[in-house]
């Protein structure tokens, strides 16, 4: 790929992404959103995070390295879910997940 082709591709991608982010803000400026739309928009961050987590936890090749290597992330996620249910603290969830995963990898 030549430099000019790369610049055309990069600039067109940049313009499209910028338009996707700026046009809705400009179009909806000063207009109140309906409560249903606000409620629906509130589900976007948890859904995106759940998709990222599910992609890391469940993959077609998760048991290629062995049963235990495939189960370690699931066990660590279970511990994180327990800690989240008890503490409701993101800090303790992160600490519990990392510590559990490290301890399981030593076994």
Cβ-based neighbours of 70, under 8 Å, separated by 6 or more: 62, 63, 64
Which range among 39-48, 49-58, 63-72 has the greatest average pLDDT? 39-48
pLDDT tens digit string along 70-99? 888 899 999 999 999 999 999 999 999 999
Alpha-carbon gap, residue 77 to 64, rounded angstroms: 19
pLDDT of 47 reads: 95
Alpha-carbon gap, residue 9 to 7, rounded angstroms: 5
Share of the chain above pLDDT 90, in %: 65
Q: What is the mean pLDDT of residues 49-55?
A: 89
Q: Where are the domains of the chain?
A: 1-31, 34-106
Does the pLDDT of residue 40 top 90, yes or no? yes
């Amino acid at each position: 790929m030549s430099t000019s082709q790369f610049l055309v591709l990069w600039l067109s991608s940049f313009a499209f992404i910028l338009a996707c982010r700026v046009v809705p803000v400009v179009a909806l400026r000063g207009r109140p959103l309906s409560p249903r739309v606000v409620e629906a928009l509130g589900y976007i961050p948890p859904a995106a995070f759940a998709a990222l987590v599910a992609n890391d936890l469940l993959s077609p090749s998760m048991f290629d390295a062995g049963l235990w290597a495939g189960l370690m992330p699931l066990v660590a996620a279970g511990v994180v879910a327990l800690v989240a249910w008890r503490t409701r603290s993101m800090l303790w969830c992160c600490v519990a997940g990392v510590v559990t995963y490290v301890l399981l990898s030593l076994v």
